[in-house]
Structure 1
C-alpha cells in the first residue's frame, strides 16, 4: 500500500474522531478502533489481491480526500436536488449532502406505527444500543468496509417491525457538492417477520468534481420479509465510488437487488447475499453503462446455506470508448443445501474496439440435489440484426441505437418503481444517438 495514503487516512481519523456521532459509546469506540487497525494493517488492495486483479485503486490512493465535519446548505445541493429528485410515487425521502443528513431537503412523510426511518447519526447519538448487533455484523467486510466502519458518520436507518408494510418507496438521495471530500455512509435496513419495503439508494454529484463515496449498506430480512432494494449510481466523471451491499436472509424471505451504474472514474460494488433460511429467494439484476475511460466493477456472492432456496442473477453491460468493466459472480451451495435452484448470467456489449470486459461467473457446489447454471457473453452488435433493421428502411445510427436500447431494456423492465424505471430509461436514451427517433419507435 502507498504509505502516504495510509498515513493520510490515519491522520484524518485523528482529526475527526471526537466529532463522529456516538463518541463516548464504549462498544462503538472499540468497533471503530478495531476497524481502523484492520485498515492500517491491510492497506488498500493491489492487483496482487485476487478480487482486485482487474481493478486498480492507485488513482484513489493518490488523492487526499478528507472527511467533512459539517453539512452546508448550498446552491449546488439545491440544483442537484431539483435534477435528481424522483416523482410522486416515492413517499419517503431522506437527503444527504456531502455525507450528512439534510433535513431541510428531506420529507420523511407519514409512517405507520412500528416503522422507523431516521438518520444513522441521530440514532448513534440517541439510541446506539438499538443498532449495535447490526453494526457489529462484519462477516464480509472488505478493507474499504473497515475504513467505512472507522469513519461512518451518517446514513439511513430503516427498521420495520413485524408485519409492517410500507406501500410507497423510500428514496435515499446522496448528493456530493464539494471537491476532495470523502463520504463514509452506512445504511441499515431491517425488516422483521412479514415486513415489506421498497428502497431506492441513489448517488449523484457535480460532474468533473473529484470526491470519494465509500458506502456500506446492510440489509436484514427476517422470516417472510420482502425487500426490494434499488441502487442508482450517477456519479461525476471524476468521482470514486466504492460500495458494499450485504444482505442476510432468513426463512422464506425475498430480496430483490437492482444495481444500476452509470459510472464514475472508478466504481466498485461488492454485493453479498447469505440465504440463512429454508425457502429464501434472492433476485439480482444489474446494468452498467460506461464510456470514456470509466471503470466499473461488480463482485457478487450468493451463499445458499439451507435447502429449497432460489437465486436468479441477470447482469448486463454496455461499454464505449476505452472503458473497462469487471464482473465476478460467485454462487456457493453449502453442504446440506439440497433443492437449491440458482441461475446466473452476465452479458456484455462492446461498442468500440478499445472497450474491455473481464467476466468470471463461478459456481461452487457442495450438495448433490441442485439445479445450477451460469453463463457469460462478450460481443459487439449482431450484424444480422443490423442488416434486418436496415432492410426495413431504418438508417444505420437509429438501428444501432435500437439494438443497444433493446439489450439494456431487458434489465430496465425488471424495475417495478415507475419513476425510477423512467429515470433509468431517460438516462439510457440520452446517451444514444437519435434519441428522439428511438422514442418514436
Structure 2
C-alpha cells in the first residue's frame, strides 16, 4: 500500500483544479479504507489479488515509442479508424491518428479535455462509476488524469470505428496506468468503439481501467473489447453503461489471456425498449487467470438482455464467470437470456461459474444455464474417420466451439486476430492458411 501512497502524493500535488483535487483525495482515502480484496469478499471469492498488492508499481512519465511502434506494427489491428494510442498509460500523439472528425463527434485524450472543458468533463466522470463503487474504481479515480472522452451528437451515424489502443511495454520498473473512458452518445446516434489492450510478454504492467457510457434515446453503440495484455501483466476493467429508452448496447468481449484479467460489466436498462447483448470468450492457457463479472439491471419494463459467454481453458488456467440479472418490481414483460459454456482442454484447468437471476416481477421471460465439459468423443471419431489427424480434429472442434461468439464480430481485422490467436495457441495448433 505504501507505494501507492507515495505515487499519489507525487501525482496529485500539482493538480490545479480544487474540485478534481479534492475528489482524488476522497477517492484515495476510499481506496486506503477498503484495501485490496481478500478471499472473504464475495465478488472476489475466486480471484486472488495478493500478488498484485505486493508489487511496487510506478506511474511512468514518458513512453518508449520505439518499442510501442514495433508492438503496434506487429500485433496491432489494421483498422480505418479514429485512433488514440496510450503507452503504459501515457498518451502518444505520435502513434495516434484521429483523421478528419465529423463536426458532431469529439474524441480527445482525457488530459486535454480536463484542460479545455473542465466542468463538462468532470460532470461526466464518476456519474456511473463513483468512488463508492469498489476499491479499484476508487483507485482509478484517485489517479484520474488520462484516458479518453468521446461525445457524439444527436442523429449522427459515425461510420469509422473509434479505436483506443492501450499498449504495455517493458520498462525499468513495473508500471501502472488508470485510464478513464467517458462516452456520451446522443439520441439516434450510432457508433462503434474498439478498445484494444496489447502488451509485450515481458512487460510488467498493471492497467486499471474504468469506462462510463451513457446512451441517450435510441442510441446504438457496439463495443469491441479485445484483451491481450501480455503474460506478465494485470488488467482490471470496469464498464458501466446507462441506457435510455430504445437504446442498444452490444459488446463483443474477447479476453485472450494475461497473468490476471478481471472485467466487471454493468448495464442499467433505464428506459422502455432498451436492449443489451453481450458475447464473450475467455481463452486461457499456462497459468492465466481470467474473470468476468456481469450485472444487468432491468429497471424499466419491456427491456431485453442477452448474454452468451464461452471459456476455453488449457494447462493450469483458471476462469471465473459470474453473471447476474436483476429484474426490478415494476419491470414487467422483460426478456433476459444468459448462457455460459466452458471447454476444459486439461485436467488441471478450472472454471468457477455462477449464473444468477434475481426477479421481483411476475410477467417476465428469463433463462440461464451453464455447462462445463471436454471435447465430444463422438464428434472426434467422426472427423478422424474422414481422414483428419487427431490433432487437427481436436483443433477444429475447439475452434467450432468458440465460433458461436467469435462469428458475431463484424469488423474483419478483429475477427481475424481473435481466430488466429486462438488457433495458434491451442495444444493442437491449427494453421488456418492450410484449411
Shift of 1:256: 0.5
Corresponding residue for residue 124 of structure 2: 134
Instruction: Name which of 295, 313, 324 aligns with 2:289.
Output: 295
Corresponding residue for residue 16 of structure 1: 11
Segments of structure 1 that go 5 or more residues without pairing to the other structure are 1-5
Q: How does 1:71-150 map to 2 (within 5 A)?
A: 71-88=62-79, 90-137=80-127, 138=129, 141-150=133-142
Look up the SS of the partner of 2:179 in the other structure: strand
Decide whether the 8 Å contact of 1:251 with 1:278 is kept in 2.
yes
Instruction: Name which of 299, 305, 325 aligns with 2:299.
Output: 305
Look up the SS of the partner of 1:66 in the other structure: coil
* Alpha-carbon distance between aligned partners in 2 of 1:268 and 1:434, rounded to the nearest angstrom: 27
* Alpha-carbon distance between aligned partners in 1 of 2:332 and 2:249, rounded to the nearest angstrom: 20
Corresponding residue for residue 168 of structure 1: 160
Using structure 2 for the length normalisation, give the TM-score. Answer: 0.96
* RMSD between superposed Cα atoms in Å: 1.3
Instruction: Name which of 370, 386, 389 aligns with 2:383.
Output: 389
* Alpha-carbon distance between aligned partners in 2 of 1:258 and 1:189, rounded to the nearest angstrom: 17
1:38 lines up with 2:30 in the alignment: yes
Shift of 1:73: 4.5
| Paired residue total | 430
Instruction: Name which of 64, 80, 92 aligns with 2:56.
Output: 64
Decide whether the 8 Å contact of 1:43 with 1:143 is kept in 2.
yes
* Alpha-carbon distance between aligned partners in 1 of 2:429 and 2:115, rounded to the nearest angstrom: 52
Instruction: Name which of 263, 268, 273 aligns with 1:279.
Output: 273
* Alpha-carbon distance between aligned partners in 2 of 1:248 and 1:278, rounded to the nearest angstrom: 13
Decide whether the 8 Å contact of 1:350 with 1:380 is kept in 2.
yes
Look up the SS of the partner of 1:116 in the other structure: strand
Decide whether the 8 Å contact of 1:99 with 1:153 is kept in 2.
no
* Alpha-carbon distance between aligned partners in 2 of 1:334 and 1:133, rounded to the nearest angstrom: 28
* Alpha-carbon distance between aligned partners in 1 of 2:359 and 2:277, rounded to the nearest angstrom: 19
Instruction: Name which of 407, 416, 420 aligns with 2:414.
Output: 420
Decide whether the 8 Å contact of 1:185 with 1:216 is kept in 2.
yes
* Alpha-carbon distance between aligned partners in 2 of 1:385 and 1:430, rounded to the nearest angstrom: 22
Decide whether the 8 Å contact of 2:324 with 2:357 is kept in 1.
yes
Segments of structure 2 that go 5 or more residues without pairing to the other structure are none
Decide whether the 8 Å contact of 1:31 with 1:136 is kept in 2.
no
Decide whether the 8 Å contact of 1:66 with 1:181 is kept in 2.
yes
Look up the SS of the partner of 2:29 in the other structure: helix
Decide whether the 8 Å contact of 2:323 with 2:356 is kept in 1.
yes
* Alpha-carbon distance between aligned partners in 2 of 1:428 and 1:376, rounded to the nearest angstrom: 22
Shift of 1:439: 4.4
Shift of 1:81: 1.4
Shift of 1:235: 1.1
Task: Please list the CA deviations of residues 344-394 of structure 1 after superposition, one character each: whole Å capped at 9, or x if unmatched.
Answer: 001100000000000000000011100000000111111111111112121
Corresponding residue for residue 321 of structure 1: 315
Look up the SS of the partner of 2:387 in the other structure: coil
* Alpha-carbon distance between aligned partners in 2 of 1:423 and 1:296, rounded to the nearest angstrom: 19
Shift of 1:7: 2.1
Corresponding residue for residue 3 of structure 1: none
* Alpha-carbon distance between aligned partners in 1 of 2:383 and 2:10, rounded to the nearest angstrom: 61
Q: Which runs of 4+ in 1 moved over 4 A?
A: none
Look up the SS of the partner of 2:222 in the other structure: strand
Look up the SS of the partner of 1:236 in the other structure: coil
Corresponding residue for residue 259 of structure 2: 265
Shift of 1:26: 2.3
Decide whether the 8 Å contact of 2:309 with 2:339 is kept in 1.
yes
Shift of 1:15: 1.7
